[in-house]
Amino acid sequence: MEIYLEHVECDLCHSKEYTVRYRKPDTWSRLNQFEFPVVECNNCGLVFVNPRPTLDSMRFYYPENYYDNRDDELHQKRYSVQEEFLPKLTNEKILDIGCARGDFLIYLKKKYPLIRAYGIDYFSDKVNSKDIIFYKNLLTDCQFQDSEFDLVTAWAVFEHLHKPSEYFKEVNRILKKNGKFIFLVTNSESLYGKKAYIEDIPRHTYHFSEKTLNKYADKYGFKLTKCVYDDRIFDGRGLGTFYYTFASLSGVTWGKRFFNNINFIQAKVGLCGTFLDKIIFKTHWEAKLKRSGIIVVEFTKI
């Protein structure tokens, strides 16, 4: 397995000047110990991984079981919350970007059988329904018609993209005037994004904020009509903030975590941090203060 990395300029403003916020290895698949830099653009504030795996290399970070269990009871509850953010549906033409196996579209089709459902996913081989027209492709390679869709959705997808600017531009092209683009992304200005190391590095290539989302909207022909900080779809609390702070102060590095080379004192210090995390983040106060790590966004095509 050969994994290639690439350095990139800012996707939003094309600046090459940035500051490193932190470094983190892939703590999920644990393919190697490389600590990917998470950087902030000095010009516009966009946060992204740089360097990152190339698009071809990124497939190694999405194993076959990555999309397992998306139709279980827990996810069905998530789909019902996602539905709350949609406009009233009858017979609309809907596209779900990054649809995985199509489970959210299947959920919608059961409730609104007259909608015309389309799904795309670059890393999934198929959807689990014949009622969904599926493309295993990048959005920019699907060749949809201008103003084709009434509604486009993307749930926890845009933080995975290699070129979100191209997707914002393409969504605007394929949406009808006044059509809605509703999507969920992670918040780079939260404890979740800054201190708790919850971002799924390197799969989360870009981390957004209300400020940078407004800039994308202005640049690509949208108006940002809703920006909701909500922990019901995914948990956006900063759990881990105190654990990682205390563990780091006691000398625990990513390498020591990788090899489980943590001594007794370091383990106890980490437990103290975990205890504080459970107390401080017992409630969802961050969402109430608009600091949740999860944002649900509505763009309206101008």
Domain ranges of the chain: 71-156+164-184+225-234+285-301, 241-280
- Among 65-69, 120-124, 217-221, the range with the most confident prediction by mean pLDDT is 217-221
Cα dihedral sign for 163, 99, 147, 181?
negative
In this predicted structure, what is the pLDDT of residue 66? 65
pTM greater than 0.85 (yes/no): yes
Averaged pLDDT for residues 241-266: 96
User: First CA to last CA across the chain, in angstroms?
Assistant: 45
Burial class (CB in 10 A: 0-12, 13-18, 19+), 282: exposed
DSSP string, 94-122: EEEET-TTSHHHHHHHHH-TTSEEEEE-S
Q: What is the pLDDT of residues 207-219, one digit of tens each?
A: 999 999 999 999 9
Question: To 10 degrees, what angle do helices 73-84 and 103-111 make?
Answer: 60
Token pair 């970070």 in the structure block, residue = 61
Averaged pLDDT for residues 159-184: 97
| CATH class label, 71-156+164-184+225-234+285-301 | alpha beta
Could you tell me which of 131, 147, 134, 63 has the C-alpha nearest to residue 97? 134
Q: How many CA atoms lie within 13 A of 97 on its CB side?
A: 30
